[in-house]
Amino acid sequence: MSARAALRPLPLNGAALSTRTQNPQLLRGRGCWSSKRFTSTTAPPTAAPGKPAKSVFRKYVFRTSLVLTLLSGYFYATDTRASIHRYVVVPLVRWLYPDAEDAHHAGVDALKELYRLGLHPRERDSPDKDGKLATEVFGYTLSNPIGISGGLDKHADIPDPLFELGPAIVEVGGTTPQPQDGNPRPRVFRVVSQAAMINRYGLNSKGADHMAKVLKERVRAFAYAHGFGDHDAAEQRVLNGEAGVPPGSLFAGKLLAVQVAKNKTTPESDIAAVAQDYVYCVDRVAPYADIVVVNVSSPNTPGLRGLQAAGPLTEILKGVVGAARRIDRKTKPFVMVKVSPDEDSDEQVDGICHAVRESGVDGVIVGNTTNRRPNPLPKGYVLSAKEQQTLSETGGYSGPQLFEGTVALVARYKEKLAAEEGSTPKAIFASGGITTGRQAQAVLDAGASVAMMYTAITYGGTGTVTRVKNELREEREK
């Protein structure tokens, strides 16, 4: 089955419809609502003997008004266009959770619970519904060119709530072969005046087996809801594309990327052991991914960035590509490598491009957080003493200040990875400093297929993707 064909919706039979009706949460997860929830056939009550008709009518009007008010509040609060998400929720979370990592966990937990209850934010009038933002990636027609970067959903807890916010790509992870705690806390810091972050999480992970279990259960639930059953054969049918949606995202016009990395305790000098770490992850999580992302660029794992040298990187990527192609699925997951914005010399970029070509990797994500500390924006802005102290913290920096460097590096990779005649072009995703639709268009013009965000969402709230897509439409209509 071709990738394009995999996006055609599968007509539901009676059994599937019955199953979906019995499972309202799965209906909510796909934006489907039963009209019975909101439709009332009850006529206004008549006055009981001895009660004035005016009194009964007033009660009826009051109750009806209350229901309509609550309903309006529900639709407003769960719409990504609502300004409350940016101007109320984000400052409130920052006030309630001075520690940025606590805020991160609270946000993930809240989205997970709201989704379970059907009260999650979602796009009610998507800017990409008319196809004007559609783009081609790996043979798929995506609904838009916006993605959410890895790190926001580290353990694949909330891919569905994130897809509901409007991106066409959601990257979860990274996961390591064995569970690891990451670095000691505190390890995440805000630079609020710059809408920036510094983190040294250190690839904290529950392990590849845990993530595989979570993703497997998600596919099983989807298979059951769509009438395929709840058994191994049902899961395999969904993974083979019989549901008419990509097997990773389970959403038409969208793709799920799963990021993999090595354990901190695996010595970077033992390239065979490092490659085996990545292969271990791929063997377990790749069946449930549309894209596998190889992270060799986190600045918070000692020695990891050294793996971007041409020799070791080629060996690692060959192992990952081979493992991905062995996955028991009709359409195999694509493989991308996430590179550092700091490895930007001609020699380093040339070496990475050589490894990409030699290994058969499908694309590059440019880039990741940086060890550098950019000058404040706007030019001449003086940081407070507290923020200057924050900048001295060890870790990867992310925020709007990375944008110019991202555009320049995307253009260089685009030039150096230019497809030879008859070969398939390598995809490029841009990640770093993108906060507006104009910036998204700039990285697309530089050669990227997708513009990805993370830090912008932590400061802009759950409506950020919708806002950026609307701004992107405006840019294209100028």
C-alpha 129/C-alpha 382 separation (Å) is: 43
Return all residues near 448 (Cβ < 8 A) that are at least 6 apart. 145, 366, 410, 414, 428, 429, 430
Q: Is residue 417 assigned to a domain?
A: yes
Beta bridge partners of 370: 397
**Which of the two residues, 397 and 44, has the higher pLDDT score?**
397
Task: Quote the pLDDT of residue 37.
Answer: 39
Strand partners, 294: 260, 337
Judged by phi (left if over 0) then psi (alpha if -120 to 50, else beta), residue 173 lies in left
91 falls within a domain: no
Percent of the chain with pLDDT over 70: 88
Which residue, among 382, 15, 376, 81, has the nearest Cα to 225 in the 3D structure? 15
Question: In which residue are the tokens 């380093």 written?
Answer: 348
What is the pLDDT at residue 51?
58
Q: Are 162 and 148 in contact (CB under 8 A)?
A: yes
Q: Is residue 371 part of a domain?
A: yes
Token code pair at residue 177:
């072969």
Q: Which of 342, 313, 454 is nearest to 409 (CA)?
A: 342
CB under 8 Å to 299, separation ≥6 — which residues? 200, 305, 340, 342, 368, 369, 370, 371, 395, 396
Task: Please compute the mean of the pLDDT values over residues 318-343 and round it to a whole number.
Answer: 97
Residue 173 has pLDDT above 90, yes or no: yes
Q: What is the pLDDT of residue 45?
A: 53
* Residue 150 near residue 368 (C-beta atoms within 8 A): no
Check 143, 205, 298, 449 and give the catalytic one: 298
**pLDDT band per the 50, 70, 90 thresholds, residue 421:** low
- Number of domains the chain is built from: 1
pLDDT of residue 62: 76
Assigned domain for 118 exists? no
Mean pLDDT in residue range 147-172 = 98
Cα separation, 195 vs 181, whole angstroms: 27
Residue 376, domain extent: 130-477
Q: What is the DSSP string of 173-208?
A: EEE-SS-B--SPSP-EEEEGGGTEEEE-----B--H
Q: Can you tell me whether residue 136 is helix, strand or coil? A: strand
Q: Which two tokens stand for residue 427?
A: 């995809």
Tell me the pLDDT tens digit for each residue of 100-122. 999 999 999 999 999 999 999 99
Q: How far apart are CA 33 and CA 147, in angstroms?
A: 26
Q: Which 8-state DSSP code applies to residue 48? A: P
Is position 19 within any domain?
no
Query: What is the C-alpha separation between 97 and 151, in angstroms, rounded?
Result: 19
Question: How many residues make up the chain in this entry?
Answer: 478
Q: Which residue has the tokens 């991160």?
A: 104
pLDDT score at 149 = 98
Whether residue 79 is contained in a domain is answered as no
pLDDT at residue 11, rounded to an integer: 44
pLDDT of residue 232: 96
Rounded to whole angstroms, the Cα distance separating 108 from 104 reads 6
Residue 3 lies in a domain: no
- The pLDDT, as a whole number, for residue 301 is 77
Burial of 348 by CB count in 10 Å (0-12 exposed, 13-18 middle, 19+ buried)?
A: middle
CATH number for the domain spanning 382: value is 3.20.20.70
Say if residue 381's pLDDT is above 80: yes
Average pLDDT over every residue of 158-178 = 98
Residue predicted with more confidence, 357 or 19: 357
- List the single range of 265-269, 325-329, 330-334, 427-431 with lowest mean pLDDT: 265-269
pLDDT above 90 coverage of the chain, percent? 77
For residues 407 and 158, what is the distance between their CA atoms, to the nearest angstrom? 29
Is 83 among the catalytic positions? no
pLDDT, tens digit (0-9, with 9 covering 90-100), for 186-237? 999 999 999 999 999 999 999 999 999 999 999 999 999 999 999 999 999 9
* pLDDT at 345 exceeding the cut of 70: yes
Confidence at residue 34, expressed as pLDDT on a 0 to 100 scale = 39
Q: Is the pLDDT of residue 395 over 50?
A: yes
Residue at 49 is within a domain: no
What sign does the dihedral 63-64-65-71 (CA atoms) show? positive
172, β-bridge pairs: 258
- The larger pLDDT score, comparing residue 62 to residue 259, is at 259
Is the confidence at residue 81, as pLDDT, over 80? yes
Higher pLDDT among residues 451 and 53, named by residue? 451
Residue with tokens 């694949």: 156
* Mean pLDDT to the nearest integer, 346-357: 94
What is the per-residue pLDDT across 27-51, written as a single tens digit (0 to 9) for each? 444 443 333 433 444 455 555 555 5
- Closest CA relative to residue 292, chosen from 248, 358, 354: 248
User: In angstroms, rounded to a whole number, what is the distance separating the alpha carbons of residues 233 and 431?
Assistant: 37
Average pLDDT of the residues in 388-401: 96
Predicted local distance difference test score (pLDDT) of residue 445 = 98
Of 423, 264, 399, nearest to 341 by C-alpha is 399
Model pLDDT, residue 221? 98
What are phi and psi for residue 252, nearest 5 degrees?
Answer: -65, 135
pLDDT tens-digit map of 433-452: 999 999 999 999 999 999 99
Q: What is the mean pLDDT of the chain?
A: 89
- In 3D space, the residue among 338, 450, 401 whose CA is nearest the CA of residue 191 turns out to be 401
